[in-house]
Structure 1
Amino acid sequence: MGFSVEVLAKIAIELQRDIGHQDRFARLIATLRQALGCDASALLRYEAHQFIPLAIDGLAQDVLGRRFALAGHPRLEAIARAGDVVRFPADSDLPDPYDGLIPGQESLKVHACVGLPLFAGQNLIGALTLDGMSADRFDNFSDEELRLIAALVAGALNNALLIAQLESQNVLPGENNGYGQAPGQEMIGLSESMVQLKKEIAIVAASDLNVLIGGETGTGKELVAKAIHEGSARAASPLVYLNCAALPESVAESELFGHVKGAFTGAISHRSGKFEMADNGTLFLDEIGELSLALQAKLLRVLQYGDIQRVGDDRSLRVNVRVLAATNRDLREEVLAGRFRADLFHRLSVFPLSVPPLRERGDDVVLLAGYFCEQCRVRFGLAQVVLSPGARAHLAGYGWPGNVRELEHAIHRAVVLARATTTGDDVVLEAKHFTLHDQPAPVTSVALPPDNTNLREATGRFQREMITRALAQSEGNWAASARRLETDVAHLHRLAQRLGLKA
């Protein structure tokens, strides 16, 4: 019993209907699952030696956030190399990438599994995977029928990817990256706010405008900057990074503009600054709100006239640099308070972007959790890292004040804890492996030091504890720690150095 003409017609219609719509692939997968009697199916896009899920049915939601590198998944590698329908033996020894990821099925030791590679001409563009819990689920379908399904799906996938490229003004496949970002630099998320952000990135990347990227600590502002650079005409030139919050005032100007030999004590040779390093490329200034007013004035001059002066040099150098700046402060308030120059703010914020906090991104939390689970699986050499339903609910219900960075650290911690109590290479993360607290516990009392401690020692000890705690709560970010402690970041750096907390 194969496909009827009616079923094939329905599949073809589903494939072409609203091909530019967000849920087109989800509808297709649902249709195929019904027609083939699958218990689970997935449509995957191929890029840079990995498969990226576009739509799933019958699989855990976090699969959509996972990235399946061929090197770590033998079945997917076999599908990518086959060039034709792949039917895996029901008792195949090759580990299944979805083991533990089909709700209600703890193991996929014996099951039917079919893989259909998808091609555009000679180029592999994706794969369709079909799983059935009974070993003979797909025996009634001939290879010829499955090839027909693969051809229909491949055509629809190729058209959809071309539409996506045109919408984002990207190049066609085979040139540059074509579609998406490099592994490890991808912005994971299907929420409305993230879809909108990606559209805005695609628009501004093609221009040469300076961009101000706003958002809370840990939301992924650096990834936004990388995406803008990679989508711009400057992509072949360097993207240079500078964290303004980590710059002591004494060396900040030299870091930005360079210096000549003898400009100051310790300047034993000429040194290029970040602007020179980024010539013809992009300079990403993180935490720009931490720059002093004097440096803001010099930065404004570069943006206005395109020339810089090394410290100690009378000559000017011409540079061609696009500046992307990021901040977790409200720079409008900083301008009103006199801590940030209004003219620099307006120069930078021609096209402002706002990265949404994780608590406003809905189901993206679970997708990101799946992404980090797969990263941990590879890093620790595990067979599987799976989230239990309780763990998914636990993560989805938390407020994530530290945003994506906090989620990443929470997953890594949970994997380490789970491994300590697990035998074998299959790790299941439970809610108990996560210790999440929206707010740090209040300090109700301060323990007094011993009687023989003088005031200076006691003060130093207390300051060390306060700074250490603020750093822990701010994921090691000095600027955020300074705001928690309501002090100037430069003063905090000096104090931490005096107390022996930094070299």
Structure 2
Amino acid sequence: MTPSSTMLAALLPLITDLTHDLPDELRYQRLLDTLRQLLPCDAVALLRLDQEALVPLAVQGLSDDTLGRRFLVSGQPRLRAILDAPHGIRFPADCDLPDPYDGLVQAGSGQLAVHDCMGCALRIGEQPWGVLTLDALQADRFSDDDLQLLHTFASLAAATVAASSRLKALSRSIEEERRRADAYRLAAAPTSQRLLGYSTAFREMMAAIDLVAASDLTVLIMGETGVGKELVARQLHAQSQRADKVLVSVNCAALPENLVESELFGHVRGAFSGAVSDRSGKFAMADGGTLFLDEIGELPLTIQAKLLRVLQGGQLQRIGSDREHRTDIRLIAATNRDLAEEVRAGRFRADLYHRLSVFPLRVPPLRERQRDVLTLAGTFIEQNRRRMGLRGLRLSAAAEQALLAHSWPGNVRELEHLVARAVLRAMGRCSRAEIVTLSSTDLDIATPGVLPAHAAGLPPAHPAPAAPMPLRTAVDLFQKQLIQATLQQQGGNLAATARALGMDRANLARLANRLGMTAKGQRDAGE
């Protein structure tokens, strides 16, 4: 078979793909498969330009956590050179520019040895869309002819991504396209986090978001602590018809009981002691946009009744005022409680529960998203690498296995904090100029069911009950033990206990009352 016929045979499936509506992940992987047939190498990556960063969409030969990283173009001179070059570019083996994949090539160990590297920008029209990069651990693996072949292939790759974009546009209206672009800009903002994942559970959640976002239906987001319920709420708003309006977030658990009504509905001057001026509540602030009530299961029953009235009629009254104000909001609520069980226990109104759960949306815990653990870890590793000014940061094979084996009771938030602590531990024995490798020891992940060593200050661990108990009962038992132990440490001072637990004093008192704890021996600061 001649070289030209070999090339045609490799490219034919890719050309056929242009006429099919394939998932982006599959389309991009087939693109890289074809490229490696034509140009054998140890690692290849497709990255999309997203404002000032290049985001990996598909990789082969690189560690799984690469997909969670964002490579700032300003900090990656090789990627900058590839983007700026009118044609493909090859870096000499003795090039002193840092390689963005140091520590990430699976066939390597630590810093990349002398190797061959080339890349080419992908352009749609005259605008840069992204880059293709190839790495081979063998020096002088690529030739000038290979570079020309890569440049030719890049044109077909650009046609592939352009075709994918056009096929999507056919199934969406102009307004939906605008809202999606707004969502991407919000997710890409330097100070914001983004929803990220590839697992089946994550895809199902994203499909539910796509289904309900454009409507004005009330959404009840359910999920354990740390799964990212607020990020889901932000995504729903960003894809809604109200995306160009305000999103107002309220943490119901942080509101003192005597101020909840004022915070939500507002008050007029003189309505109560300390009301020295009129104040608009969160509902008024969110008028025309979206109101997100986080931890709604913590609202007192009296406030639940008033909230229900506002949701039913769309009208509210400020405290101290007889005037009714009409408000137009899209409501999103979130809770880590089983509200159906709370209704049965008399702690949550049944009519409000049904009003909120028009569209229930469950956020899966991290233990159901095992495929996403390394991807998310890559995101947090890259954030910490930039924050700490490190040259490179990677996971050891043992650390990857430890992450995959963990049950993640604290979900994504636990993973984020665990990575941050691990980076600090690793920096204690390494130089910033090195490629820092996080070991399983740095991660300090406890065995399943046992709290890690860093969880200091918790009450002594109790043996597991001989017979299983409902999860809610177990959680209540733990909360009661923790509050009692902290109260004892703080000499019975309720305010100091609340500060130690990171809670508002009124919320702590309310929780203690729900748990059936006696107030005997508890006192406020200053007593």
TM-score (norm 2): 0.84
Find the partner of 1:128 among 128, 132, 135. 132
Alignment of 1:210 onto 2:218: yes
TM-fit CA distance, 1:79? 2.1
1:259 match: 267
Aligned residues: 485
Distance 1:23 1:464 in 2: 59
Q: How do 1:227-376 residues align onto structure 2 when only pairs under 5 Å count? A: 227-376=235-384
Question: What is the CA–CA distance in structure 1 between the aligned matches of 2:495 and 2:198, rounded to whole Å?
Answer: 37
**Separation in structure 2 between the aligned mates of residue 436 and residue 471 of structure 1, nearest angstrom:** 27
1:15 deviates by 5.3
Deviation, 1:162, is 4.0
How far 1:12 sits from its partner (Å)? Answer: 4.2
Contact preservation (8 Å) 2:113, 2:137: no
TM-aligned CA deviation for residue 348 of structure 1: 1.4
1:48 equivalenced with 2:51 (yes/no): yes
Alignment of 1:100-139 (within 5 A): 100-106=103-109, 107-139=111-143
Residue range with higher mean Cα deviation, 122-131 or 216-225: 122-131
Which residue identity is paired with 2:441?
A: K
Find the counterpart in structure 1 of residue 475 from structure 2. none
> What amino acid sits opposite 1:208 in the alignment?
D
CA contact (8 A) 2:42 2:135 kept: yes
Cross-structure match for 1:453: none
Deviation track 1:364-385 (CA, whole Å, cap 9, x = no partner) reads: 0111111100010111111111
Higher mean Cα deviation, 254-263 or 436-445?
A: 436-445
- Structure 1 distance, partners of 2:339, 2:39, is 56
1:171 aligns with 2:180: no
Matches within 5 A, 1:414-429: 414-425=422-433, 426-429=435-438
Any idea what SS the aligned residue of 2:162 has? helix
1:351, 1:395 → 2: CA distance? 33
Contact kept, 8 Å, 1:471 with 1:478, in 2: the verdict is yes
* 1:25 is the counterpart of 2:35: no
Structure 1 SS opposite 2:370: coil
5+ residue gaps, structure 1: 446-455
Equivalent residue in structure 1 for 2:150, among 123, 146, 150: 146
**Aligned partner of residue 267 in structure 2, secondary structure:** coil
Is 1:461 aligned to 2:494, yes or no? no
Residues 1:443 and 2:460 aligned together = yes
1:6 Cα deviation (Å)? 2.7
Displacement after TM superposition at 1:71 (Å): 2.3
Alpha-carbon distance change, 380 to 412 in structure 1, aligned in 2, over 3 angstroms: same
State the Cα deviation string for residues 313-347 of structure 1 (Å, max 9, x = none). 11111111111100000111111112111221111
Which residue pairs with 2:188 in the alignment? 182
Give the whole-Å Cα distance in 2 for the aligned partners of 1:367 and 1:62.
Answer: 4
Instruction: Please name the residue that 1:450 is paired with.
Output: none
Kindly tell me: are residues 467 and 404 of structure 1, through their superposed partners in 2, closer, same or farther at Cα, counting changes over 3 Å?
farther
Matched, 1:498 2:524: yes
- The change in CA–CA distance for 1:490 and 1:50 in structure 2 (over 3 A counts) is farther
Kindly provide the amino acid, as one letter, of the partner of residue 48 in structure 1.
Q
Deviations for 1:36-90, whole angstroms, at most 9, x for unmatched residues?
0111001112212212211111111111111222122222222223343122222
Instruction: Give the aligned residue type for 2:116.
Output: A
Correspondence 1:55-94 to 2 at 5 A: 55-94=58-97
Residues 479-498 of structure 1 correspond to what in structure 2 (within 5 A)?
Answer: 488=514, 498=524
| Secondary structure, counterpart of 1:141 in structure 2 | helix
Contact preservation (8 Å) 1:20, 1:163: no
Q: Which amino acid aligns with 2:460?
A: V
Q: CA deviation at 1:471?
A: 9.4
Segments of structure 2 that go 5 or more residues without pairing to the other structure are 452-458, 463-483
**Partners of 1:282 and 1:39 in 2: CA distance:** 48
Q: CA RMSD in A?
A: 3.4
Output one character per residue of 1:200-255: Cα deviation in whole Å (capped at 9) or x when no partner.
11121111111100000000000000001111111111111100001111000010
What is aligned with 1:13? 13
Question: Structure 1 stretch 58-67 or stretch 83-92: which is displaced more?
Answer: 83-92
Asked if 1 retains the 8 angstrom alpha-carbon contact of 2:223 and 2:364, the reply is yes
SS of match in other structure, 2:108: coil
One-letter amino acid of the structure 2 residue matched with residue 141 of structure 1? D
- Alpha-carbon spacing, 1:421–1:165, altered in 2? closer, same or farther (3 Å): farther
User: Is 2:495–2:524's contact at 8 Å kept on the other side of the alignment?
Assistant: no
Verify the 8 A CA contact 1:38 1:130 in the aligned structure 2.
Answer: yes
Letter in 1 for 2:367: R
2:408 counterpart of 1:405: no
TM-score under structure 1 length normalisation: 0.87
Query: SS of 2:375's equivalent?
Result: helix
Which 10-residue stretch deviates more, 134-143 or 215-224? 134-143
Identity %: 48
C-alpha distance in 1, partners of 2:306/2:418?
Answer: 41
Q: Is the 8 A contact 1:237 1:281 kept in 2?
A: yes
Question: Secondary structure at the residue paired with 2:197?
Answer: coil
1:180–1:292 Cα change, 3 Å = closer
